[in-house]
């Protein structure tokens, strides 16, 4: 079972951009990967939400003023995203 197995991807908005660490040569928690993701989206980091299941990976995103969600259970993550976006997910 991979890290994304069981994650409710089908209940979230479609993603238009992906940043793959192995392709860009930058790994979390280096802040450059968060900045690159925001740049690819054409957004300021403060206009982005970062979700991860490892707290240390959220710290640089917060430092860039991204909203962050610590993922533990799908229901909790979806509820938090619903509060952030003002739209119901799940």
**DSSP line for 47-81:** G-EEEES-HHHHHHHHHTT-EEEE-SSHHHHHHHH
State the pLDDT at residue 2. 46
CA atoms of 41 and 47, how far apart (whole Å): 10
Please report the pLDDT score of residue 12 as a whole number. Answer: 62
Is residue 90 over pLDDT 60? yes
The pTM (predicted TM-score) of the whole model is 0.79
Q: For 13-65, how does the pLDDT look when each residue is reduced to its tens digit (9 = 90+)?
A: 666 777 888 889 999 999 999 999 999 999 999 999 999 999 999 999 999 99
* Cα separation, 58 vs 55, whole angstroms: 5
Residue 49 β-bridge partners: 67
Q: Which domains does the chain have, with CATH numbers?
A: 20-85 (3.40.50.1000)
Whether the link from the prior residue into 41 is cis, omega within 30° of 0, is no
Res 14: pLDDT: 66
* Per-residue pLDDT, 60: 97
């Amino acid at each position: 079972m991979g890290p994304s197995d069981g994650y409710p991807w089908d209940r979230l908005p479609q993603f238009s951009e992906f940043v793959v660490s192995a392709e860009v040569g930058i790994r979390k928690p280096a802040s450059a990967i968060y900045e690159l993701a925001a740049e690819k989206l054409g957004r300021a980091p403060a206009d982005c939400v970062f979700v991860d299941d490892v707290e240390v990976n959220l710290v640089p995103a917060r430092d860039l003023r991204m909203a962050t969600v610590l993922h533990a259970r799908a229901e909790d993550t979806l509820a938090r995203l619903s509060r952030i976006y003002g739209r119901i997910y799940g």
